[in-house]
Structure 1
Amino acid sequence: MKLYYSATSPYARKVRVLIIEQGLQDAVSLERADPMAENAATRIGNPLSKIPALELKDGSHLFDSPVICEYLDHEAAGEALLPKDGDRRWAVLTAQALGDGILDAALSLVMESRRPETERSAFWQDRWTAAIHRGVDEIAEDVAADRKVFDLGRITYACALGYLDFRLPDLDWRGPHPNLVTWYDEISGRESFVLTTPPE
């Protein structure tokens, strides 16, 4: 299998962390791809021209990080990071959606900041910022309820917080959440996160 990714994509980072945690490094090769490049959609097998995208052994493709993560977790021999059924499955999927939603809002803020200042929407910037802060508040509550859990939801949380540090440090999610900072620093020390840290 082949994963098309960018070293700075938090969605691709989530997949890469799962690959390492599940010991799939020999089963999945990594290939950097620029989704903005000409013919990128054809190259990576995603008509939306977005990464990550996973090319399977038969040449077919999967795309969108939740789909790829579920597929790889299903293929792995290790303990599932996404439970196959029961209440815990829905809790993990909801946590993943929360982390991805924070990332969606953060990416929108980053892209908006690259527009000419006179063309930026204060309304949308405020809305995305508020969504991020509410999302981080929810993450802090969830983590405080059980700090020892490690699953796909927690992986997504950490990738989201890491992206805020990487692209939007002025939002300062850390200030109001010292306990969450401690948890994040602990999880960031795992080999899977160290090896997937985006370049400065």
Structure 2
Amino acid sequence: MKLYGAHLSPYFGRCYLVMALKGQTDAVELGDIPGGMKSPAHMAANPTGKIPYLEKDDGTYLIESQVIAEYLDAILEGDALVPEDLDEATHALMICRIIDTYMAPAMERFWANRGYSDEEVKKAATESLPAAFDYLEHFITGGKYLSGDSWTIADAALIPWLFHMEKFAKQHGVDGFGDRPKLQEWYAHVSQTDIVKDSMVRAEKSLEQLLAFLQKK
């Protein structure tokens, strides 16, 4: 199998974190997009022109980070990140859905290359993102992990966004998770783990590579 994308992408990061949390980072080859984003090779594999995408052993492809993350969790050895218990599983997957539906679109407003207006960015910082944080605060378990008492796919979904909160959202007045005690408790714990520290390093290195590439253009 081969996972295509870059660590700066929080969606690619989610898939990689599934591998990391299961201790299986060597089980899947990582690759850059052949020819770059939206190249013929990229579009042939994934017509949406997005990352990540996974080339399976049979030569077929999977797209959409949550789908890939659940697939990797199912086939790789290691502790299951989608719990076997139905209630626990649906809770973890619900957190992923909240992140993707409410938080991610707001966070993407802070990406300069997307061309959003100042008003759209301001609304994301003052309305959309705080609302998304409120939804998460309401539903997460509370404690060291987002869902239950161990790592789940929900943690893998949120952790990659921590780099973007620090690097981009903070520039627009977003100060962490604000006055939300459950999210604060979660962050206080996970920020001290190698899982999060390594994720931040990978994203920073990926950003540096992107900036160096853009300077050459």
Query: Matches of 1:22 and 1:83 in 2, distance apart?
Result: 13
Deviation at 1:180, TM superposition (A): 2.8
Amino acid at match of 1:139: L
- Kindly tell me the number of residue pairs found equivalent between the two proteins: 194
1:128 equivalent in structure 2: 124
The code of the aligned residue for 2:133 comes to: V
- In structure 1, what is the equivalent of residue 69 of structure 2? 69
Q: Distance in 2 between matches of 1:144 and 1:25?
A: 28
Q: Which whole-Å CA distance do the structure 1 matches of 2:174 and 2:41 have between them?
A: 32
1:38 paired residue number:
39
171, 183, 194: which one aligns with 2:174: 171
Q: 1:166 & 1:177 partners in 2: Cα distance?
A: 20
Q: 1:3 to 1:189 in 2, by over 3 A?
A: farther
Partners of 2:7 and 2:176 in 1: CA distance: 23
Pick the aligned partner of 2:194 from 183, 191, 199.
191
Aligned to 1:93: 93
8 Å Cα contact 2:3/2:30 also seen in 1 = yes
How many angstroms apart in 2 are the aligned matches of 1:47 and 1:113? 19
**Cα separation, 1, equivalents of 2:168 and 2:118:** 19
| Deviation string, structure 1 residues 167-196 (Cα, Å, up to 9, x no partner) | 211322344246633421421333333322
Q: Which is further off, 142-151 or 76-85?
A: 142-151
Q: Give yes or no for contact 2:144–2:190 (8 Å, CA) kept in 1.
A: no
AA partner of residue 88 (structure 1): E
Query: Is the 2:82–2:89 contact (alpha carbons within 8 Å) kept by the matching residues of 1?
Result: yes
What value does the CA root-mean-square deviation take over the aligned residues? 2.6
Where do 5+ consecutive residues of structure 1 fail to align?
Answer: none
Describe how 1:12-161 pairs up with structure 2 within 5 A: 12-33=12-33, 36-42=37-43, 45-84=45-84, 86-101=86-101, 102-111=103-112, 114=115, 120=117, 122=119, 124-129=120-125, 130-143=127-140, 145-148=142-145, 149=149, 150-161=151-162
C-alpha displacement at 1:58, in angstroms? 1.1
Runs of 4+ in 1 over 4 A off after TM superposition: none
Tell me the secondary structure at the aligned position of residue 30 of structure 1.
strand
Give the SS at the match of 1:195: helix
2:5–2:12 contact (8 Å) kept in structure 1: yes
The share of aligned pairs that are identical, in percent, is 25
Runs of 5+ consecutive residues of structure 2 not aligned to the other structure: 208-217
**Whole-Å Cα distance in 2 between the matches of residues 91 and 16 of structure 1?**
21
TM-score by length of 2: 0.76
Partners in 1 of 2:15 and 2:114 — Cα distance?
A: 27
1:56-76 per-residue CA deviation (whole Å, 9 max, x = no partner) reads 111111011110011000002
Task: Check whether the contact 1:14–1:159 (CA below 8 A) recurs between aligned residues.
Answer: yes
Superposed displacement of residue 92, structure 1: 1.1
Deviation at 1:52, TM superposition (A): 0.8
